[in-house]
Each structure stands twice: as structure tokens, then as C-alpha cells.
Structure 1
Amino acid sequence: MSSNKNKYCLFVVVIGFLTTNSAYAQNYKKLDSILKTANNEIYSNPDNVIKIGEKVVKQAENNVDYKIKGYKLISDGYSAKRNYEKSLEYLIKSSQLLNLSKDKLLKINIINKTGIQYHQLKVYDKAIQYLDQAEELIAEYPYKDSVHTELGKNYLVRGFIYKEKLSCAIAITYLDRGIVELMKVKDVANSSSKISIAVYNKGNCYLLMKNNKLALENFKKAATIAREINAKSLEAFALKGSAKVLFLEGNYKEALEALNKALSLSVGVNDLILNQEIYRGLAENYLALSQWSQFEIYQLKFLETQKLIKDTERTSVSESLGVKEAELKAKKIELSNKFYYLLLILILILILIVLFFYVLVKRKTNEIKIIKDKIYLLQNQKVKEL
């Protein structure tokens, strides 16, 4: 009877264990689905992405990996809104948990994201440092099919940096490398947004290189890719790029059509940089067509948005300077600690040397005393014999 009761208890425990594990597995499967959906909304509804990220963090409970993913999602949402201060805040939260995770791919993702964040803050040396670190981890990762997205993003951000610091020719090389990697990704929706960004930036490079034809081709291609995945802000940026080329070529009415379409897409995205560029373009084109009332409306909107951006950038610069200051302070403390450590070692070595010579001298003094005593005894003995 007792044996049957024990078997029954064991059965209940096993069933309970399996049920709990199944519930956890279903919960995490649901979170994976939510994360995938949210990632596809980053450029169309960043506010919703931030809310989803907050829910993921709460539902993750004690699962470190999902908490990291949730914080990163919130960070991505704020990045899309160009609120880099808040983006950095949540990226730091995810980074602080990273040493508790065993997921190597997640580590690559966060380190890559940190490089991207520093690029957005225009701290280019730190950006390259993190991108190099991520690239090393990517090279070591055994499953190459899983790192095409991360390597693609790595190349794209290098392209953005080299566009600012070196030349458009070098930038285009890296942007093309990034596109090649992203084209290998099976999740088309996830990679398409990044490809659109890369193609748009190629358009900007060709515009700087005075190649209007290639610039317009790339802007149109970027808009088409963005439209296919409903990435409203990316399509608006691409349309704004096309409008710039059309304005330079004197096609003001076509440029206005593109800009008005971009303006309608930008509603709800809350991207100040995008809005500023659209307002600037509208003002320039209306001025070229001598439509003064429309020019005044959009010129005023441009100036208002420009002021908002400067206020935001001031905060972001303060944040990046704060990061730099904290790093310099940490390095200073580290160097001070090393100095005091070396000084302590030198003092200990000096004390040991002094002790060594003290013992040596003491021993020699004792030996001399013993020899003197022996001589003295021998001399006394001879005296007695005489």
C-alpha cells in the first residue's frame, strides 16, 4: 500500500514538473513571437515597440536572456525616435546583465548595438572599439548562418562612420559588404529595413559625389524596399532624398510631391531629424516656385524643429561627455590603483632587501665575534702554558 502511495506521489511530482516546464516553454515561445513582431515595427511604430519591450521585461521574470532582449528592444525604440539618452539608459541595463547570460549570439548582438549607440552619439572611437570587439566574436562564432545579420549591421555602421570620417568611396564599399551579408538572412522582413537604410545612405554618398543619377536610383530603391515592409520612416527618408535630387535638377513640383508624401508618412513617427529635413525641403521648393505663404509656413516649422533638435543634441552631447568623463575617471582610478600597487610591491622588496642585508651583516658580525672569542681563548691558553 505504501509502495503504491509513493509511486502516486512520484507521478504527481513528475506531472507537475513537466506541466511547469511546458508552461515556461510556451511563455518563452510567446515572447519570441512578440519580439519578432516588435522588431518589424521599429521604424513604423517605435512607441508601441517601447511598450512591448517593457512587457517583455516584466514577463521575462527570472530569465536573464529575455530581460536583456526586452531592454534592447526598448533601447531600439528610443533610437528610432532619436532619443539617444533614453536609448543608452536601457542599453546599459541590458549590458549589466550580459555577464549572467551564456548566449554568445546575444552577447554579439548587445556589443554590436553598443557600437551603433556610440556612433549615434558621434563618439566614433568608442564605436569602432565595440564594432571591432563584436567582429572578433562573430569570427569565433561556430554557426556562421546565425551571424549574417550582426556582421551586416557591423559593416553598415562602419560605412556610416567612414562616410563622416574618411570618404564616401570607402563608405560605399562597407555598405555594399553589409548588404551582401544581409541578403543572406532568411528573415527577409528583419533584414529589409537594414538594407533600405544602407541603400539610402549609398544615395546620400552619391549625392555628395555629385552623381545625381545614381543617387536618385538608390533613393528610389530604398523607398521601394521600405514600402514593402511598411517601414514608414525609412520610406519617408528615401522620398526626402529623392526630393533633394529633384530640387537640384529644378524639378520643384515633383520634389514637392515626394516631400508631401514623406510628410504624411512621418505622422506618428516623431522623428525630429526627418521632420526638419522635410520642412526644409518644402520651404526651399515653395521659395523656388515663389509661393511665399507656403514658404513662410514651412520655414517657420523648420526653424522650430531645428531648435528642438539643438536642445535634444545638447542633452545627448552632455550624455556622451558624461560617458567619456566616467571612463576617464575609471581609468584614472585604475592607474592610481596600479601605481599604489607597484609602490607597495617596491616598498616590500626594499624592506626585504634591507632585512636581507641586516641578517647578513648580523650573521657576519656574530661570526667575527665568535672568531675573536676563539682567538682570545687561544691567546689566554698560550699565556697560561707559558
Structure 2
Amino acid sequence: MHHNRYFFSAFLGLALFFGYAAFAQSIKNVDSIIKASGTEIYEKPEKAIKAGEYIIANAKEDAKTKIKGLMLVADAYSVKRDYQKSLEYVIMANNLSSHIDDPLLKIKIANKMGIQYQQMKIYDEAIQYLNEAERLCMAYPIKDSVMYHLGRNHIVRGFIYKEKLNCDIAINFFNKGIAELGKADKAMIKTTLSIALYNKGNCYILLSDYESAKKSFFEAIEITKGIHAISLQAFAQKGLAEVYTLEGRYRDAIKELEEALAVSNRVGDLVLNRGIYNGLLENYLAVNDWDNYEKFHALYLDTQLKVKESERKSINNLINEGYKSQNKNLQTEISTYNYYILTTLLLIITAVIFFFILIKKSEKNILKLNKIIENIQNSKAKSN
């Protein structure tokens, strides 16, 4: 009997050990897949989508792992400018966030929601989520662990303030974001830095500071070397070409744009392609190359339609989600209202029944008292 107990205990211990080891290995594999896909997301977004879908399908009841897969897919669709699909996955991740106890992952989700709304140009909602992410960052005890998220938060604010306020304020936030990223220990900061520098360069163009703009674009291009972020390289080249156009260096602009186009065709980014086509048609027009002007003008118009259609679908999806949320809140309010009405009615009915019983009891007591009085009076009458 003792031998059997010992054998059972040993077997159970081994089972738990190997079960835990398998679980730990599974988590490690998921993180490895996400890391590998994240470094290639700007070059191979489709590969990242497949990796994310695989993680989601195999996450089972593990909410944290499922969220990681959802966020990877959402990021990949953002790279592809498919905002409708990206939004779907972000919302699913956000809905699951209440089931996890991971502050860093919650910060990432809140930041991503802010980015999503910023991309949709719904800035008030974007600021709300960015404020939530910043609050979570400030509350997190290990500051070194949130530098990347805080830097990203400042950079997205820069995008918003560039559109809503002015470029001086936006550049200030880009610089704050870049400074925070400089403190972070993450390989992924290079892609975020490149995005910040590209947008900072665009601000300098609007301020007519072309030398500072070129410096930002050159830095952005340099950062993308050695990492899998060819679309970011193309964006920076497009920005540099715009400066060359403004300086009257049309052939240099065409050279940069043609190189950017060769890169962007491998990614399929509609917004990037639209910008490159627009730059090429303007520069070919400037050098009187009518054949190429007509070619890229047609490509520009076709891509513009696709971008508008994608944006329209995303906005419709967002509106539908808003209606669902409002309807859910309305149903909750109606249920609460009905609960209060029912409770009030029950209290009223209980009070009425109580008073009815009390009145009936009082009537009986009065009748009884009258009977006693009547008996006393009759007794007195007989005595007399």
C-alpha cells in the first residue's frame, strides 16, 4: 500500500512538473513567434497575420496569449492599411483585457486603441485612450519597463497635435517620444524611431525648414538599414523626395521615389503607394514627361479610390461598434430602471398590504371595544 502511495505521489509530481514545463515552453514559443513576426511585420505583414492567427487558434482559454495574437494581427493589418480588419482585432483584444492581470499588456492595448483612433482621425477618442495608457505607465512601479510605451504614446500625440494644433507642438512631442525611446531597452524601438523621425521631417517641411527636414529623413532611412522595415524606408525616401521637389531637384526626387516604389510594391501599403504615385506624377509633370505623368496619375486615382473605400469600411465598422456599445449601455440602464421600478412597486404593495391588515385589525379592535362598552352599559341599565 505504501509503495502504491509513493508511486502515485511520484507519478503526480512528474506529471505536474512536465505539465508546467510544457506550459512554460508553450508561452516561450508564443513570445518567440511574436518577436520574430514583429521584426518582419513591415516587410511581411501577411506572415505576421498568419502567425497571429495561429497563436489565437491555439490559445484556447488563455486570455493573455490570445490577446498577444490579436494584437499581432491588428498591427499587421495596420501596416497593410486595412483599418477595418485592424479595428476588429483591437476591439477583441480590448474586450478581453478585463480578464487579465498584466499591466504592461493593458498599457499596450490602450496605446493601440489610441493609435487606431488616431489613424481613423477620431482624435478625442484617441486622446482618451492615450491618457489611460499614460496613467497606467505612471502607475507602473518599474519605470524602465514602460519607457518604450511612454515614448510611443508621446509620438502618437505628436501625430494628433500636428493635425489639430501646429507643428511646433507636434515636434516637441516627437522629441519627447524619441527621448523616452532612447531610455528603452527594446529592439523594436528602431521602427518606432523611424516613424517619429519621418513625421518630424514632415513637420519641418510645413515649417519650410528644409535642412532640418532632410536631416530627419536621412536619420529615418539610416535607422531602417539592418532591420526588416522596408516600408518605413520607403516612407522616409518619399519624404526626402518631397523636399527635393520643393527645392526644384526634380530628377533627384524621381530617383528617390522610384526606389521607394520598388520597395513599397513588396508590401502593398495603399497609403504609401498613393503618396509615391502623387510625388511621381508631380515630378514627371515638372520635367515634361507626359507619358509617365499619365501613367502615375492613373495609378494615383485608382489607389485613392481603394484608400477611400478602406477608410469608409473602417468608419462604418467603428460606427456599428459604437451603436452596439450604446445599445448595451441602454439595455443595462433599462434593466436597472426596471429593477428600481419593480422594487418600488413591491415596497408599495407591501406597504398597502401592511396598512390594510393594520386597518382591519384596528376595525376588529374597535368592534370588540364597542361590544365591551355596550355590555357594560347593558349591565349598568339592569342594575338600575
Moved more, 213-222 or 231-240: 213-222
Shift of 1:236: 1.0
- Hey, what does 2:262 align to over in structure 1? 264
Confirm or deny: 8 A CA contact 1:123 1:320 kept in the other structure. no
Partner in structure 1 of residue 194 of structure 2: 196
Determine the C-alpha separation between the residues in 1 that align with 2:353 and 2:6.
Answer: 73
1:299 aligns with 2:297: yes
TM superposition shift of 1:276: 0.4
Aligned to 1:137: 136
Are the equivalent residues in 2 in contact too, given 1:159–1:170 (CA < 8 A)? yes
Find the aligned partners of 1:206 and 1:342 in 2 and give their Cα distance: 59
Structure 1 segment 203-282 matched on structure 2, within 5 A: 203-282=201-280
> In the alignment, what sits opposite 1:385?
383
Seen in structure 2, the aligned counterparts of structure 1 residues 352 and 265 have a Cα distance that, compared at 3 Å, is: same
Structure 1 Cα separation of the partners of residues 263 and 240 of structure 2? 15
Counterpart CA distance in 2 for 1:345 and 1:6 is 57
Q: Shift of the alpha carbon at 1:24?
A: 3.5
Q: Do the aligned residues in 1 keep the contact of 2:241 with 2:256 (CA within 8 Å)?
A: yes
Letter matched to residue 29 of structure 2: K
Q: 1:366 to 1:158 in 2, by over 3 A?
A: farther
Q: Secondary structure at the match of 1:313?
A: helix
| CA distance, structure 2, for counterparts of residue 173 and residue 342 of structure 1 | 52
Contact 2:198 2:236 in 1 (8 A): yes
> Please, which moves more after superposition, 295-304 or 354-363?
354-363
1:325 aligns with 323
Q: Distance in 2 between matches of 1:336 and 1:19?
A: 51
**CA–CA distance in 1 between the matches of 2:176 and 2:123?**
20
How far did 1:326 drift? 1.5
Quote the sequence identity (%). 42
Q: State the secondary structure of the residue aligned to 1:40.
A: helix
Q: Within 2, Cα distance between the matches of 1:212 and 1:68?
A: 42
Q: What is the rounded CA distance, in whole Å, between the counterparts of 2:25 and 2:263 in structure 1?
A: 37
Residue in structure 2 matched with residue 346 of structure 1 by the alignment = 344
Tell me how far 1:242 sits from its aligned partner: 1.7
Structure with more relative contact order (C-alpha pairs < 8 Å, separation 6 or more): 2
CA positional deviation for 1:130: 2.5
Partner residue in 2 for 1:127: 126
Native 8 Å contact 2:178 2:196 kept in 1: yes
Match of 1:178 in 2: 177
Contact 1:121 1:320 in 2 (8 A): no
Measured against aligned partners, the alpha-carbon deviations of 1:310-348 in whole angstroms (never above 9, x if no partner) come to 221221121112112212222222232233223223323
Paired residues, number: 384
Please tell me the residue identity of whatever aligns with 1:64.
A
Q: Quick one: distance in 1 between partners of 2:95 and 2:224?
A: 34
Shift in Å at residue 194 of structure 1? Answer: 1.0
Provide the rounded CA distance (Å) in 1 between the counterparts of 2:341 and 2:18.
61
Aligned to 1:115: 114
2:142 and 2:301 mapped to 1: Cα distance? 50
Match of 2:286 in 1: 288
**Mapping of residues 12-161 of structure 1, within 5 Å:** 12-60=11-59, 63-161=62-160
| Contiguous gaps of at least 5 residues in structure 2 | none
Cα distance between partner residues in 2 of 1:370 and 1:186: 92
Q: 1:247, CA displacement in angstroms?
A: 1.3
Mapped to 2, the partners of 1:363 and 1:6 lie a distance apart of: 72
Deviation at 1:363, TM superposition (A): 4.5
Q: Which amino acid is the alignment partner of residue 379 of structure 2?
A: Q
Rounded to whole Å, the distance in 2 between the matches of 1:142 and 1:365 is 72
Q: Secondary structure at the match of 2:240?
A: helix
Q: Per the alignment, do residues 8 and 333 of structure 1 end up closer, same or farther by CA in structure 2, a change over 3 Å counting?
A: closer
Given that residues 87 and 314 in structure 2 are in contact (C-alpha distance below 8 angstroms), is that contact kept between their aligned partners in structure 1? no
Q: Deviations over 1:111-145 (max 9, x none)?
A: 32222223223333333333233333323322222
Question: Is the 1:95–1:110 contact (alpha carbons within 8 Å) kept by the matching residues of 2?
Answer: yes
TM-score normalised by structure 1 residue count: 0.89
Quick one: distance in 1 between partners of 2:134 and 2:159?
A: 16
- Aligned-CA RMSD value: 2.5
